[in-house]
Structure 1
Amino acid sequence: MPGDGGERCGSIGGMSTTGAREPGWVQDVIWWHVYPLGFVGAEREAGPDQAVVHRLGHVAGWLDHAVELGASGLALGPVFASGTHGYDTTDHLRVDPRLGDDADLDALIAACRERGLRVLLDGVFNHVGRGHPAFRAVLEHGPATPTASWFRLRWPDGADAWRPGTEPEYDDFEGHSALVALHHDEPAVADHVVEVMTSWLDRGVDGWRLDAAYAVPTSFWAGVADRVRARHPDAYLMGEVIHGDYAGFVAGAHVDAVTQYELWKAVWSSLNDGNFFELDAALTRHGGFLDSFVPYTFLGNHDVTRIASRLTDERHLAHALVVLLTTGGTPAIYAGDEHAFRGVKEDRAGGDDAVRPPFPATPRELSPLGLPTYSLHRELIGLRRRHRWLHTARTRTLHLANEQLVYEAVGDGGRLVVALSVGDRPAEVPAAGVRVVLAGNAEVADDRVRLPAHGWAVLEG
């Protein structure tokens, strides 16, 4: 296990009470997640001699909005040089010129520091773009080039028969030929990833989201993570994992967390179907994950349909947010969701554009129609920050029906009760020991809670 970098969250002998290795500062983080290329309205593709356009200041101009929202960290999507969407990296050590230059990113990091915001970068280390110098060298110089071992290549007629202009077949990422898969058994690849991660940590960032982490052997991540933490023991390392053995991945990869897609899906699916049994099952599994690590939780990100578009009844947006902010996890708010942005992801070229839109120059230019959702986010984020123990809280179901769910969240001596209803009629549900409504709308009497139609409440004893 990597060396301890100081005080750890709820630590007992260097290990947190969840079994996680995460740094202590993560307990208080609520991320505001930005996809920079879309946020600043950058060109869809970088030109061959792309001029530097200093746009990262546009993101910096929204940091006060993030602070006022209640966020304590900025989770940035890809900021490194790439050909198109940022996930086809061509230089991990240079800022994408469509966003600016290294000085612009340094200034953004400094602006975050001034406001007490942590910074998370998005690292794409499963694959690179075809324009990456390591792959360009292969195309230009053939199998003898030193970086040929970085990739899983198959040469027509064998490597010995190579002639200039001959291109190899290669493994790619999920059938996307523009994304050339790296060979993770090659030590030079691990050396490169460690160099990239430590270089930006040296410059002041706090951690990394590891893109497509599920596609990379956990043994690779474990070796990289151990080497990175030898220099930066307080770095937060979180992997993108869609499904599968979350806890096994965290343990095998030596990372702090993975993306909690199971809970994300159960939240909107249960609300849409009027089937809280699905959410109850997901919360049970979620509690099991918390025994060994604290998942990265969310309702939206740059890869999925906006939660306000996913839900079939807009009244249930509050219910979804309540679940996110009253259950264990490290929560993230995808920029725009706090103003009920709409956007549907489509499976086609440009199908992500609707969920990755440009933002106006300042928050004052947003439509006032989103202000009620913004106010709700502030209220519930404030509630979570006043109950720090929610970071590792376990939930226990007190009442379960198709259209109603009551659960308690407990941890470190604290207890909250959450009551949710998606029915068309008022509902009365049991909730022993509660007396005070902290948020939402409910009447409390004799260990019962009465909710209006499509109502919700967060309560305290």
Structure 2
Amino acid sequence: MTEAGWVQHAVWWQIYPLGFAGAYPPRSDNPGGGLRKLLPWLDYAIEMGASGLLLGPIFASETHGYDTVDHLQIDPRLGGDDEFDELVAAAKSRGLRVILDGVFNHVGRGHAALGRDNWVRRGPDGSLANFEGHDSLVALNHAEPAVADYVSDVMKHWLRRGADGWRLDAAYATPAEFWATVLPRVRAEFPESYAFGEVIHGDYADFVTRSTLDSVTQYELWKATWSALNDGNFFELSWALERHNGFLDTFVPQTFVGNHDVTRIASRLTDERHVPLALAFLLTTAGTPSIWSGDEQGFRGVKEDRAGGDDAVRPEFPDEPAGLAPYGEKLYRLHQELIGLRRRNPWLHRARTRTVHLANQQFVYEAYDGDSSLVVALNAADEPAVVPGPGGDKVELAPQSWTVLGR
């Protein structure tokens, strides 16, 4: 494993800055608040228990940030270098680390790569190759050595400016060998930096091994979490945990119940009372977890497969936390409780999990690492349930509840 030791303690608060600041989608009555709009929220993140910010795209782009036109320039809608430096300094003064979103699989049509020999991929007829059918996203030619030079230089540039690591967008669409060329160059100067890739399907462990990434996104466990709760089928979640245990032999996955690309967990679950169970599961099992900004307040939003279909899950935030509606406070307090539990038990980062009791709507599991362990029980039913606890004792669970039975 290549990840730095500090990652064991990482809990990310993920933000999509363009949406958060009101800079995208564009509004004629609001130019957006820029990166400075994040400043009043740093203490909020700390109070929730987060140890770092996982930022969405902040570099100059044509629309939504994933169509980058200049990886060395802050998007003018978010400010400039001064605003970036101010945000990083304010975060670091509070002990918050900062991860940036690197979109290096493709670029916007205004990127200089389109005017350079062999920097972008073309079809047999000479037409520009794109990312998953999106003509505005031109695929880079990752077989061109100059592209690897460029990406490694960009990554090091922003690490020198204070970033702690990178989320690599659409890493699954980029050859693993490309990352294996780039990342050692970055680590030669920044051995403590962290890099994880967006990977949805496939052999996660094999991709990590071949790419030399520290980690990849754990979409299998995300899907099993909400699906098991919706279907009343904890057998699916138990099976996914066995897969998860196997990944830990190679790497520690980046885990989540929500992010900028999926329907919010409060909307995904057919019964909103299951949100605390999903969160309890996330924060008592292995991984490097992230909380999608707004999920801690119970925000709702459905992702749609259309132009602008991400907007509902990437809303503008108030100028400061005091502007939040009061209905989210209870869920925010639960995040504090569960993140606090995890921060007090950092061994959970690499913990294996074994099933203690399994039924359609009840799941008791033990997370363990060496001599440390937690036994966690989930009851997704509308009725009380009796389950085995530590030492064989019987424990009654309230309806729609979770609890830590022993440690």
Same fold per superposition (TM over 0.5)? yes
Q: How does 1:341-360 map onto structure 2 within 5 Å?
A: 341-360=299-318
- Deviation string, structure 1 residues 21-74 (Cα, Å, up to 9, x no partner): 100000011000000000000043699xxxx97611101220000000000000
Q: Which residue of 1 aligns with 2:14?
A: 33
Q: Which residue of 2 aligns with 1:305?
A: 263
Q: Which residue of 1 aligns with 2:402?
A: 456
Structure 1 range deviating more: 353-362 or 420-429? 420-429
Q: Which residue of 2 aligns with 1:294?
A: 252
Q: Which residue of 1 aligns with 2:235?
A: 277
Q: Which residue of 2 aligns with 1:150?
A: 119
Alpha-carbon distance in structure 1 between the residues aligned to 2:79 and 2:370: 45
Q: Would you say the 8 A contact 1:53–1:100 is kept in 2?
A: no
Q: Which residue of 1 aligns with 2:223?
A: 265
RMSD: 1.5
Q: Would you say the 8 A contact 1:45–1:83 is kept in 2?
A: no
Q: How does 1:303-342 map onto structure 2 within 5 Å?
A: 303-342=261-300
Alpha-carbon distance in structure 2 between the residues aligned to 1:459 and 1:68: 26
Q: 2:35 aligns with which of 56, 59, 62?
A: 56
Q: Which residue of 1 aligns with 2:84?
A: 105
Q: Would you say the 8 A contact 1:82–1:89 is kept in 2?
A: yes
Q: Which residue of 1 aligns with 2:378?
A: 420
Q: CA deviation at 1:432?
A: 2.4
| Residue 408 (structure 1) aligned with residue 366 (structure 2) | yes
- Residue 32 of structure 1 aligns with an amino acid whose one-letter code is W
- Residue 99 of structure 1 aligns with an amino acid whose one-letter code is L
Q: Would you say the 8 A contact 2:361–2:380 is kept in 1?
A: yes
Q: Which residue of 1 aligns with 2:97?
A: 118
Q: Would you say the 8 A contact 2:390–2:405 is kept in 1?
A: no
For the residue of structure 2 that corresponds to 1:111, the secondary structure is: helix
Alpha-carbon distance in structure 2 between the residues aligned to 1:235 and 1:75: 14
- Residue 397 of structure 2 aligns with an amino acid whose one-letter code is L
- Deviation string, structure 1 residues 219-238 (Cα, Å, up to 9, x no partner): 10001011111111111010
Q: Would you say the 8 A contact 2:21–2:33 is kept in 1?
A: no
Alpha-carbon distance in structure 1 between the residues aligned to 2:380 and 2:286: 23
- Residue 349 of structure 2 aligns with an amino acid whose one-letter code is H
Q: What is the number of residues matched between the two proteins? A: 405
Q: Would you say the 8 A contact 1:46–1:98 is kept in 2?
A: no
- Deviation string, structure 1 residues 327-354 (Cα, Å, up to 9, x no partner): 0000000000000100000111111010
Q: Would you say the 8 A contact 1:30–1:73 is kept in 2?
A: yes
Q: Would you say the 8 A contact 1:46–1:82 is kept in 2?
A: no
Q: Which residue of 2 aligns with 1:205?
A: 163
Alpha-carbon distance in structure 1 between the residues aligned to 2:307 and 2:223: 24
- Residue 150 of structure 1 aligns with an amino acid whose one-letter code is W
Q: CA deviation at 1:134?
A: 2.2
| Residue 127 (structure 1) aligned with residue 106 (structure 2) | yes
For the residue of structure 2 that corresponds to 1:425, the secondary structure is: coil
Q: 2:180 aligns with which of 208, 219, 222?
A: 222
Q: Would you say the 8 A contact 1:389–1:412 is kept in 2?
A: no
Q: Which residue of 1 aligns with 2:325?
A: 367
Q: Which residue of 2 aligns with 1:164?
A: none
- Residue 18 of structure 2 aligns with an amino acid whose one-letter code is L
Structure 1 range deviating more: 359-368 or 451-460? 451-460
Q: Which residue of 1 aligns with 2:204?
A: 246
Q: Which residue of 2 aligns with 1:11?
A: none
Alpha-carbon distance in structure 2 between the residues aligned to 1:456 and 1:286: 21
- Residue 199 of structure 1 aligns with an amino acid whose one-letter code is H
Q: CA deviation at 1:151?
A: 1.1
Q: CA, structure 1 residues 46+103, in 2 after alignment: closer, same or farther (shift >3 Å)?
A: farther
Alpha-carbon distance in structure 1 between the residues aligned to 2:108 and 2:396: 56
- In structure 1, stretches of 5+ residues that fail to align are 1-19, 138-146, 157-167, 434-445
The percentage of counterpart residues that share the same residue type is 63
Q: 2:5 aligns with which of 15, 24, 30?
A: 24
Moved over 2 A (4+): 43-47, 153-156
Larger radius of gyration: 1
For the residue of structure 2 that corresponds to 1:417, the secondary structure is: strand
| Residue 78 (structure 1) aligned with residue 73 (structure 2) | no
Q: Would you say the 8 A contact 2:389–2:405 is kept in 1?
A: no
Q: CA deviation at 1:314?
A: 1.2
Q: Would you say the 8 A contact 1:54–1:104 is kept in 2?
A: no
Q: CA deviation at 1:455?
A: 1.9
| Residue 391 (structure 1) aligned with residue 337 (structure 2) | no
Q: Would you say the 8 A contact 1:83–1:129 is kept in 2?
A: yes
For the residue of structure 2 that corresponds to 1:109, the secondary structure is: helix
Q: Would you say the 8 A contact 2:21–2:32 is kept in 1?
A: no
Q: Which residue of 2 aligns with 1:17?
A: none
| Residue 172 (structure 1) aligned with residue 130 (structure 2) | yes
- Deviation string, structure 1 residues 120-149 (Cα, Å, up to 9, x no partner): 0000000000011221x3xxxxxxxxx130
For the residue of structure 2 that corresponds to 1:150, the secondary structure is: coil
For the residue of structure 1 that corresponds to 2:54, the secondary structure is: strand
- In structure 2, stretches of 5+ residues that fail to align are none
| Residue 185 (structure 1) aligned with residue 143 (structure 2) | yes
Structure-2-length-normalised TM-score: 0.97
Q: CA deviation at 1:170?
A: 1.2
Q: CA deviation at 1:449?
A: 1.3
Q: CA deviation at 1:426?
A: 0.8
